[in-house]
């Protein structure tokens, strides 16, 4: 173990890795602070660049960029009333109300400090929970994996959306896309339409760059909302008074971080949902709920820590099972596969130094967030004035080149464009994107474990639930499906009773 730790230390504190982290931080802060560019998009745009890096610097770039972007998304929320990333949307009005009261530095400071605290909390849980889970998961057979993946996909359908039906069809579409190509238990080319490009399947990375970057670029083109005005001229020292806030709201910080970590770890739900849930929870349990919405910092403290802790939480299922906790880790998993660091419990036993390195990267990213974040707040006015009409076309070209770079294939650019337009159209119609992403990422794994289990079971479906853990996971999965169905049934019955 000491040897692995020393190796991890050497990899992380390599000058190249550190330089990558600094550049990725600045990049993440910038992307997060520009409205319309999300943290997921930051990672999607990083993919083609990380493609040319060794594994640890590549992971370092993604970890730091996302941590920074989730924090800096608070900046335009606070100063322009436009969230920089969806993860800041929950408390944008609150932060802006504080700004209106002349307390922009309190809102930004709370966002920064408690983002770092939440991030470190999530990291701690990641460090403690994932090796233990991995050891537990070493005994899993295809039956357990089948139910685990199904449970993950179920969570994605029911948690990420208040419209489970739309979530479900998105999941099915994602799974169907994952079926394309030769990569199935029989090695039979499915849905390839005779095209050689499609025998290898539809590229996951081009698809994600399309869904998360191209869709945003298109959304900017059709955005008719008027330009927002900057109300603050100068932001003062942001760290003043934060210690007092920490002493005043210890329970809120802990609750936000814990909830964020759990929501992050649930497949499909990430930082944005964590922030919404945590803000609602803060208001519900607050001693002064009437102050919420009028420029009260309590909710920002709690949900600000929640959205950053969710980032680390999402890595738990991603590293241990290869099941992404949010859309960011869905991309990360793709990169890990490209780097031959296939996620799964064996990653913890065969290459522990890589896992330790990931832990260290998270700690460092959340610590350097504070000085770099202060710097970012200082220059925030300039960032917010960056003309997006110039930026978006550049991102478009960057997406084209980046997608091409992955396989040197023009076909992939087409995949990217189609995915982008489809994602834009579907999201406009309230179809959630996260279940589709999970379907694409997990489709192969689900089918493989399903078919293997079917062959093992040899026609006896009871085999799916004879092993105790498999049975437990099965019950949990069926319960999540069963409860909403039952509720709908009861509702239609009571409605029928009223009519009759």
Partner 1 sequence: MKLNDAVFGVLLMLLGAAVLAVVQGFPKIPGQQVGPALFPGLIAAGLVVGGWLLAVRGWRDRALAPWVQMGPWVRMPRHVLAWLAMVGGVVFYMLAAPALGFLICAALVLLVCMWALGVRPVAAVALAVVAALVIHLMFYKLLRVPLPWGVLQPFAW
Cα 320 to Cα 103, 314, 383: the distances in Å are 42, 11, 38
Length of the chain: 500
- Name the residue nearer to partner 1 (CB basis): 193 or 234: 193
The Cα–Cα gap between 257 and 254 comes to: 5
Least distance in angstroms from the C-beta of 493 to partner 1:
18
Q: Which residues contact 435 (CB under 8 A, 6 or more apart)?
A: 153, 156, 157, 160, 161, 167, 168, 170, 171, 174, 268
Q: Which two tokens stand for residue 441?
A: 């990422």
Distance CA 442, CA 330 (A): 9
In the complex, the smallest distance separating the C-beta of residue 388 from partner 1, rounded to whole angstroms, is 8
Identify the residue whose tokens are 């029928």. Answer: 496
By beta-carbon proximity to partner 1, the closer residue of 314 and 438 is 438
Which CB sits closer to partner 1, 289 or 414?
Answer: 414
Selection from 312, 309, 314, 336 nearest residue 327 by Cα: 314
Distance of closest approach, residue 263 Cβ to partner 1, in angstroms: 26
Taking the complex as a whole, the smallest distance from the CB of residue 142 to partner 1 amounts, in Å, to 13
DSSP 181: B
Contact 285, 239 (CB under 8 A): no
How far is residue 180's CA from residue 83's CA, in Å, rounded to a whole number? 37
Structure tokens at 195: 């095209």
CA distance readout (Å), 446 to 147, 176, 435: 9, 12, 14
The least CB distance from residue 168 to partner 1, in Å, is: 6
- Closer residue to partner 1 in complex, CB, 385/397: 397
Q: Using CA atoms, how far apart are residues 232 and 449, in angstroms rounded to an integer?
A: 56
Nearer to partner 1, 135 or 223 (CB): 223
The residue assigned the tokens 């738990």 is 316
Minimum CB–partner distance for residue 394 and partner 1 (Å): 5
Burial 256-284 (b: 16+ CB within 10 A, else e): bbbbbbbbbbbbbbbbbbbbbbbbebbbe
The nearer residue to partner 1, 5 or 405, going by C-beta atoms, is 405
Minimal distance, residue 339 CB to partner 1, in Å:
16
Residues of this chain that interact with partner 1 (CB under 8 A) are: 48-49, 51-52, 165-166, 168-169, 172-173, 175-176, 179, 184-186, 188, 190-191, 214, 217-218, 221-224, 387, 389-390, 392-394, 396-398, 400-402, 404-405, 408, 410, 413-414, 416-417, 421, 425, 428-429, 431, 446-447, 450-451, 454-455, 459
Which tokens belong to 66?
Answer: 């996302």
213 vs 376, beta carbon nearer partner 1: 213
CB of 231 to partner 1, least distance (A): 24
117, 93, 109: which is closest to 283 by C-alpha? 93
Q: How far is the CB of 162 from partner 1 (least distance, A)?
A: 14
**DSSP-derived 3-state class of residue 347:** helix
Residue 387 or 496 having the CB closest to partner 1: 387
Q: Is 322 in contact with 342 (CB distance < 8 Å)?
A: yes
Rounded Cα distance, 284 and 275, in Å: 14
| Measured distance CA(90)–CA(462) in Å, rounded | 45
Closest approach of partner 1 to the CB of residue 175, in Å:
5
Question: In this structure, how many other beta carbons lie within 10 angstroms of the beta carbon of residue 13?
Answer: 12
Based on CB atoms, which residue is closest to partner 1, 231 or 425? 425
Q: Which two tokens stand for residue 17?
A: 């890795």
- Which of residues 135 and 430 has its CB atom nearest to partner 1 in the complex? 430
Q: Provide the minimum distance between the beta carbon of 266 and partner 1 in the complex, in angstroms, as a whole number.
A: 22
The residue (of 337 and 398) whose beta carbon lies closer to partner 1 is 398
Estimate the crossing angle of helix 92-100 against helix 104-137, to 10 degrees. Answer: 160
Would you say 165 or 239 has its CB closer to partner 1? 165
281 alpha-carbon distance from chain centroid: 21
Closest distance between partner 1 and the C-beta of residue 239, in Å? Answer: 36
What Rg, from alpha-carbon coordinates, does the chain have?
23
């Amino acid at each position: 173990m000491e040897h692995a730790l020393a190796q991890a230390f050497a990899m992380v504190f390599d000058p190249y890795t550190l330089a990558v982290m600094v550049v990725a931080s600045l990049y993440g802060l910038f992307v997060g602070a520009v409205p319309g560019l999300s943290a997921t998009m930051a990672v999607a745009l990083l993919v083609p660049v990380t493609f040319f890096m060794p594994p640890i610097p590549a992971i370092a770039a993604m970890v730091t960029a996302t941590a920074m972007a989730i924090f800096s998304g608070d900046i335009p929320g606070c100063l322009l009333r436009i969230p920089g990333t969806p993860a800041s949307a929950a408390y944008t009005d609150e932060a802006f109300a504080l700004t209106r009261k002349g307390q922009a530095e309190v809102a930004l400071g709370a966002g920064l400090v408690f983002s770092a605290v939440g991030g470190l909390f999530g990291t701690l849980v990641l460090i403690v929970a994932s090796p233990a889970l991995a050891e537990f998961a070493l005994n899993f057979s295809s039956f357990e994996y089948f139910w685990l993946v199904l449970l993950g996909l179920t969570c994605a359908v029911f948690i990420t959306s208040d419209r489970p039906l739309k979530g479900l069809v998105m999941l099915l579409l994602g799974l169907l896309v994952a079926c394309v190509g030769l990569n199935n238990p029989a090695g039979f080319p499915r849905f390839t339409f005779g095209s050689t490009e499609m025998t290898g399947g539809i590229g996951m990375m081009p698809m994600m760059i399309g869904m998360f970057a191209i869709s945003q670029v298109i959304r900017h083109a059709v955005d008719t909302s008027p330009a927002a005005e900057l109300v603050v001229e100068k932001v003062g020292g942001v760290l003043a008074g934060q210690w007092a806030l920490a002493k005043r709201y210890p329970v809120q910080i802990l609750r936000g971080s814990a909830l964020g970590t759990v929501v992050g770890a649930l497949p499909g739900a990430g930082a944005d949902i964590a922030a919404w849930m945590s803000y609602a929870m803060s208001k519900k349990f607050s001693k002064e709920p009437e102050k919420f919405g009028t420029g009260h910092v309590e909710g920002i403290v709690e949900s600000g820590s929640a959205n950053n802790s969710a980032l680390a939480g999402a890595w738990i299922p991603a590293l241990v099972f290869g099941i992404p906790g949010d859309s960011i880790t869905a991309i990360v998993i793709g990169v890990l596969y490209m780097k031959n660091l296939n996620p799964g419990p064996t990653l913890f036993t065969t290459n522990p130094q890589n896992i330790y390195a990931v832990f260290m990267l998270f700690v460092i990213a959340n610590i350097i967030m504070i000085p770099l974040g202060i710097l970012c707040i200082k220059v925030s006015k300039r960032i917010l004035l960056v003309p997006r009409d110039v930026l978006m076309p550049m991102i478009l070209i960057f997406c084209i080149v980046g997608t091409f770079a992955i396989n040197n294939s023009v076909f992939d650019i087409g995949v990217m464009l189609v995915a982008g337009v489809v994602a834009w159209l579907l999201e406009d119609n309230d179809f959630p994107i996260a279940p589709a992403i999970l379907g694409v990422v997990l489709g192969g794994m689900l089918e493989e474990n399903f078919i293997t289990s079917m062959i093992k079971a040899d026609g006896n479906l009871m085999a799916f639930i004879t092993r105790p853990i498999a049975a437990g996971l099965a019950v949990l999965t069926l319960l999540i499906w069963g409860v909403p169905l039952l509720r709908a049934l009861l509702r239609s019955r009571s409605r029928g009773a009223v009519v009759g």
